[in-house]
Amino acid sequence: MTSEKKNQIWTIDELVQLTDTVQKGTVEYNGKEVPLQWCELTEAEEPKMVMPDESASEEEKTAHFSKLATMRVVNMVEKANKMDKDSTFITEENWAKFPSTLRWRISNKILQSEETKSDF
């Protein structure tokens, strides 16, 4: 028995609409659900950071890119919060106070990463 999977093609309008659409979801954390919302960013909305110095240690480079990824997730959440104020749960202010394992799960969900476990 074969299953047929029809490939779908995005339209330009659908792709553009993603940057104006609030996406919602939840992540499970210690037996409870954490609600979240985010919105895709345009290039102009992406956080701007210079590349790390080539002489930087691997640890410094990793920290630099980790900070960039965090800024990206926070920007995506804040963009959605501006578009749907009534559903705001996560904010830039409370993000830094969350446990790092929760921030990791939220980031993976928002960035649509399949991996949910940390290497730490």
Does some domain include residue 83? yes
Does some domain include residue 8? no
Does some domain include residue 118? no
Does some domain include residue 92? yes
Residue 66 structural domain: 14-110
- Pair of tokens at residue 114: 């399949």
- Predicted TM-score (pTM) of this structure: 0.80
Does some domain include residue 75? yes
The tens digit of pLDDT for each residue in 30-74 reads: 999 999 999 999 999 998 877 777 888 888 878 888 888 899 999
Q: How many helices (H) does the chain have, and how many strands (E)? A: 4, 2
The tens digit of pLDDT for each residue in 86-120 reads: 999 999 999 999 999 999 999 999 998 654 444 43
Does some domain include residue 120? no
State the pLDDT at residue 34.
Answer: 97
Dihedral through CA 84, CA 87, CA 92, CA 98, nearest 10? -160
List of residues 6+ apart from 112 with CB closer than 8 A: none
Looking at the structure of the chain, the number of domains it has is 1
Residue 11, pLDDT > 60, answer yes
CA dihedral over 62, 66, 69, 71, signed as positive or negative: negative
State the pLDDT at residue 83.
Answer: 97
Under the banding of pLDDT at 50, 70 and 90, the label for residue 20 is very high
Kind and range of the H or E element at 33? strand 32-38
Does some domain include residue 43? yes
State the pLDDT at residue 120.
Answer: 38
- Pair of tokens at residue 80: 């959605």
State the pLDDT at residue 102.
Answer: 97
Please check whether residue 70 is in contact with residue 108, taking contact to mean a CB–CB distance below 8 angstroms.
Answer: no
> What span, in angstroms and rounded, lies between the C-alpha atoms of 120 and 40?
28
Tokens 């630099």 correspond to 64
State the pLDDT at residue 1.
Answer: 47
Residue 8, pLDDT > 70, answer yes
Does some domain include residue 1? no
